[in-house]
Amino acid sequence: MKMTKKMMCLLGSAMLLVTLAGCGAPEETRVQDGQQASEQQEQEGQPSKEQQDQTDQQQEDRPPTDSQGQESQPPSEEGMEESAELQNEEDVALAGESASIRVWGPILRIEDGNLVIDNRADVSFRGEMVITVDPEHTRILDGENGYPVEVSELNEGEAVFAYIGPAATMSEPPIVNASLILCKIPGDLRLPDYLQVTAMEEQPDGSYLLSGNNGIQYLVPMDCEILPFLTRNVVTLQDVQVGSSCLIWSDENRTAQKIVLFAD
């Protein structure tokens, strides 16, 4: 009987110890679990080394920005006549439908008296193009005043506008023939149009409505300046007839301001 009581006391003590140990275990486990959760959150919140390297590389590759957060644009190419391009974008397609096609771009180099340009127009061949300059048939004119210019006066990087024929060689780069090349055009001046007159209709007020083979109509006032090319002959508005080739400076409303008449 005494032995039984002793065994019961020992069992009770053992159960008490187990209970006390069980009460402490959850607390320790909770602490460990909390530490593991905290470490896990920190790890999730911080990118891995691989991710950090990728982020750094992306930031290096991103274009520089200005003070307003906008991406900085590269500077425009030297010698380009940007305003001339913008003023005449609407004419390129029309010019392409006529006998002559107008191309334009900066001069890359001058070889044997011919121009190699980077054609930026959406007609003919884009990119490098050789424009043949025939001393007998190619006119090179100052786009501001219509005066003749020598090839030797042109510079690399300068923008030129050339009227070429539809034919081109299959070489690389392609070679084309030019009838007229315009150069030295100020940035604030509208590019003149080179055309052949298809109609000349007199208006009640004495002005004329001139139609060109570029598909554009121009109102020519009575007092419009008419100049001959390379001659001292006096020319008037009546000398501008169907079939005449000319260079016309006009405003945004297509009102002619000056005409250079060629004696073809």
| pLDDT at 37 > cutoff 70 | no
Which pLDDT score, from 0 to 100, does residue 255 have? 97
Q: What is the 3-state secondary structure (H, E, C) of the chain?
A: CHHHHHHHHHHHHHHHHHHHHHHHHHHHHHHHHHHHHHHHHHHHHCCCHHHHHHHHHHHHHCCCECCCCCECCCCCCCCCCHHHHHHCHHHHHHHHHCCCEEEEEEEEEEECCEEEEEECCCCCCCEEEEEECCCCCCEEEECCCCCECCHHHCCCCCEEEEEECCCCCCCCCCEEEEEEEEECCCCCCCCCEEEEEEEEEECCCCCEEEEECCCCEEEECCCCEEEECCCCCCCCHHHCCCCCEEEEEECCCCEEEEEEEECC
pLDDT > 70 fraction of the chain, expressed in percent and rounded: 62
| pLDDT at 260 > cutoff 50 | yes
pLDDT > 90 fraction of the chain, expressed in percent and rounded: 49
pLDDT (tens digit per residue) in 100-154 = 789 999 999 999 999 999 999 988 888 999 999 998 889 999 999 999 999 999 9
* Highest mean pLDDT: which range of 25-29, 71-75, 209-213: 209-213
Which pLDDT score, from 0 to 100, does residue 170 have? 80
pLDDT (tens digit per residue) in 142-200 = 999 999 999 999 999 999 999 998 877 888 899 999 999 999 988 777 899 999 999 99
* Highest mean pLDDT: which range of 50-54, 182-186, 214-218, 230-234: 214-218
Q: What is the mean pLDDT of residues 16-39?
A: 47
What is the residue type of 46? Q
Which pLDDT score, from 0 to 100, does residue 244 have? 95
Q: What is the mean pLDDT of residues 69-74?
A: 32
Which pLDDT score, from 0 to 100, does residue 231 have? 80
Q: What is the mean pLDDT of residues 243-250?
A: 95
